[in-house]
Amino acid sequence: MKLSENKATLSFSNGSPSVELPVYQGSVGPDVVDIRKLYAQTGMFTYDPGFLSTASCQSAITYIDGDKGELLYRGYPIEQLATNCDFMETCHLLLYGNLPDAADKADFTKRVTHHTMINEQMQFFLRGFRRDAHPMAIMTGLVGALSAFYHDSTDINNPEHRDISAIRLIAKMPTLVAMAYKYSAGQPYMYPKNNLSYAGNFLHMMFATPCEDYVVNPVIERALDRIFVLHADHEQNASTSTVRLCGSSGTNPFAAIAAGVACLWGPAHGGANEACLNMLEDIQKMGGISKVGQFMEQVKDKNSGVKLMGFGHRVYKNYDPRAKLMQETCKEVLASLGLENDPLFKLAMALEKIALEDEYFVSRKLYPNVDFYSGIVQRAIGIPVGLFTAVFALARTVGWIAQLNEMIGDPEYKIGRPRQLFTGSVRRDVLPIAQR
Ligand code: CMC
C-alpha cells in the first residue's frame, strides 16, 4: 500500500475545522481514502451500508475490474488459468502466491490427497441430520464440526496450524459434500481414492457405489475442475468478508470457514446457482421459450419481487468473465453427453439474448454472472440441484482460507467491529409493569 501525493480534504458546513485524510494507491484499481483517524479527529463515523464504497482490507490475492469484466488471481487472468492450469495449481497460486512448477505441484497435490479422509466419527455426527436436510445446512454443521475433530490445527496464530488446516479443508470438502449427498440418497459413503485427480475423486465419491467399478469421464472431470477454478476466489464478497470478520476474533479456521459456508448459502450469493436452475425449470414448466417474454415482464416489474437469477453483480458492470468460460464448458459437457438439444440450455441462451438487448438490463448494466450457466453444467453432470451451492462452497474454500491467512499475517489486522448510526429510542426509564 503506497501513500499517494494526493490527499483528501473533508470540510463541514457547520464551521468545524476541515480534516486532511491520507490517500493510498494499490498496484491497480481505485485509490482509497484512509478514514481510520476520522472518528478521533471529528467524532463522526462514515455511513456505508452494504460496503458500496468501503475497502475493508488490503489484499494481494484477487483483483476484479468490474467495468472491463476482468478477473485476476494473483495477477493471472482467469481465462488463462481456466485454460492452462488445473484446480491444484490454482489452489497453490491462491495460497502461496505463485504457480507451482511440476515438483511443487506434485508435492502439493500429494499433501492434499493424503488428507482427503475424514475422521470416521464424523459419520455418526452426520447421522443426526434428517435425510431430507438441505446440503448447505449439513455443510455448515460438518465444516464447523471439523474443529472438534482436528484439535492439532485450530490455533489461528500458529502458521503451521494455519497451513495444515488449509490443506485439510481443501482436501476434506469434497469428501464432506459427497457424504452429504450419499446420506440424502441413502447410499453407502465411498472412501476417497488417492490415485484419482481432485475432481475425479469427487466424482468417484459422489457417483460410485460398492457394487460396480466406476470410471471417471475425462470430459466431466475437466468440466468440474474448471467449475472449481472459476469459483476459487472472488476478493471481498459477502462470504469472504464473513470469513475475515469471523476469523478476526481469533476463532479457529474451521469455525471461520463454516461461517463462510453459511453466508454463501443465500440466494443473492452462492445460492443463486440453485435459484437460477429452479427459475429455468419453472419457465420450462410454464411453456418454455414461448413464455420468456412474459417472464421478463415480471422481472422488470418492481412489485413482482421476481429477479432474473444468474444476472447482475455488485462489481461486474460488464459480462462476468467466468460466465463466458462456463458457457463454453456447458456446450462441451452437453455435447459429450449427447445433450446438445437440452431445453434448459436453449432456454438460458434465449433469456440471455433477450436480456442483453433489453433496455432494463442494458441501462442497469446487468449481465450474466457465473451462476447463469453453472447450474446447467452441474445438472448435466448428475449433481442434484440442492447440492449446487455445496459444490460452490467446496471450490471457494481455498479462497476463503487464502484470504483468512492473508488477514492473520497482515500487521494492520484488528478485530472487525463496524459502528452504527443509532436511530432508536434515546435513554428512557423502565416503568413498573402496572404503569406501562
Ligand atoms: N434481475 C432483475 N433486476 C435486477 C437484477 C436481476 N437479477 N439484479 C439487479 N437488478 C436491478 C435492481 O432491481 C436495481 O434496479 P433499480 O436501480 O431500478 O432499483 C438495479 O438492477 C441495481 O441492482 P442492485 O440490487 O442495487 O445491485 P446490487 O449490486 O446490490 O446486487 C446482486 C447485486 C448480485 C445481489 C443482484 O444483481 C441480484 O440479486 N442478482 C440475482 C442473484 C444472483 O444471480 N446472484 C449471484 C451473484 S454472482 C455469484 C456470487 O458471487 O455469489
Q: Is 2 helix (H, G, I), strand (E, B) or coil?
A: strand
d(CA 119, CA 140): 17
* Catalytic site includes residue 410: no
244 contacts: CB under 8 Å, gap ≥ 6? 56, 57, 236, 403, 404, 407, 416
Can you tell me which atom of ligand 1 is nearest the CA of 320? 48
Is there an atom of ligand 1 within 6 Å of 169 CB? no
Q: Say how many Å lie between the CA of residue 316 and the centre of ligand 1.
A: 10
Per annotation, catalytic residue among 92, 115, 313, 320: 313
Other Cβ atoms closer than 10 A to 313:
23
Q: Is 381 helix (H, G, I), strand (E, B) or coil?
A: helix
DSSP track, 299-340: HH-GGG----TTB--SS-SS--HHHHHHHHHHHHHHHHTT-T
Residue closest by Cα to atom 30 of ligand 1: 314
Per annotation, catalytic residue among 86, 233, 320, 371: 371
* Catalytic site includes residue 231: no
C-alpha cell at 292: 420468456
d(CA 142, CA 131): 15
C-alpha cell at 122: 464424523
Q: Say how many Å lie between the CA of residue 342 and the centre of ligand 1.
A: 27
- Asked if 266 and 259 count as a contact pair (C-beta separation under 8 A), the reply is no
Please report where in the chains the cell 466419527 appears, as a residue.
121
Q: Is 64 helix (H, G, I), strand (E, B) or coil?
A: strand
- Alpha carbon 342 to its chain centroid, in Å, reads 27
d(CA 23, CA 230): 33
Q: Is 359 helix (H, G, I), strand (E, B) or coil?
A: helix
Q: How far is CA 248 from CA 105, 407, 408, in A?
A: 31, 8, 8
Can you tell me which atom of ligand 1 is nearest the CA of 237? 51
- Asked if 155 and 252 count as a contact pair (C-beta separation under 8 A), the reply is yes
Can you tell me which atom of ligand 1 is nearest the CA of 302? 13
* pLDDT at position 342: 87
Q: Is 189 helix (H, G, I), strand (E, B) or coil?
A: coil
pLDDT in tens, 160-190: 999 999 999 999 999 999 999 999 999 999 9
- Asked if 176 and 192 count as a contact pair (C-beta separation under 8 A), the reply is no
Q: What is the pTM of this model?
A: 0.93
pLDDT in tens, 109-167: 999 999 999 999 999 999 999 999 999 999 999 999 999 999 888 888 899 999 999 99
Angle ∠(44,47,51) on CA atoms, nearest 5: 140
Residue closest by Cα to atom 34 of ligand 1: 313
Residue 400 burial by CB count (10 A; 0-12/13-18/19+): exposed, middle or buried? buried
d(CA 26, CA 3): 9
**Which amino acid is it at 228?**
F
Q: What Rg value do the Cα atoms of the chain yield, rounded?
A: 24
Strands (E), 55-102: 62-65, 70-73, 76-77
pLDDT tens track, the chain, 436 positions: 898 889 999 999 999 999 999 999 999 999 999 999 999 999 999 999 999 999 999 999 999 999 999 999 999 999 999 999 999 999 999 999 999 999 999 999 999 999 999 999 999 999 999 999 999 999 999 999 999 999 888 888 899 999 999 999 999 999 999 999 999 999 999 999 999 999 999 999 999 999 999 999 999 999 999 999 999 999 999 999 999 999 999 999 999 999 999 999 998 888 888 889 999 999 999 999 999 999 999 999 989 999 999 999 989 999 899 999 999 999 999 999 998 888 988 898 899 899 899 999 999 999 999 888 898 899 999 999 999 999 999 999 999 999 999 999 999 999 999 999 999 999 999 999 999 9
Please report where in the chains the cell 498496484 appears, as a residue.
27
- Asked if 226 and 232 count as a contact pair (C-beta separation under 8 A), the reply is no
Residue closest by Cα to atom 37 of ligand 1: 312
- Asked if 178 and 190 count as a contact pair (C-beta separation under 8 A), the reply is yes
- Asked if 404 and 256 count as a contact pair (C-beta separation under 8 A), the reply is yes
Is there an atom of ligand 1 within 6 Å of 314 CB? yes
Is there an atom of ligand 1 within 6 Å of 355 CB? no
DSSP state, residue 29: S
Residue closest by Cα to atom 26 of ligand 1: 314
Of the candidates 168, 84, 155, the residue with the CA atom closest to the CA atom of residue 122: 168
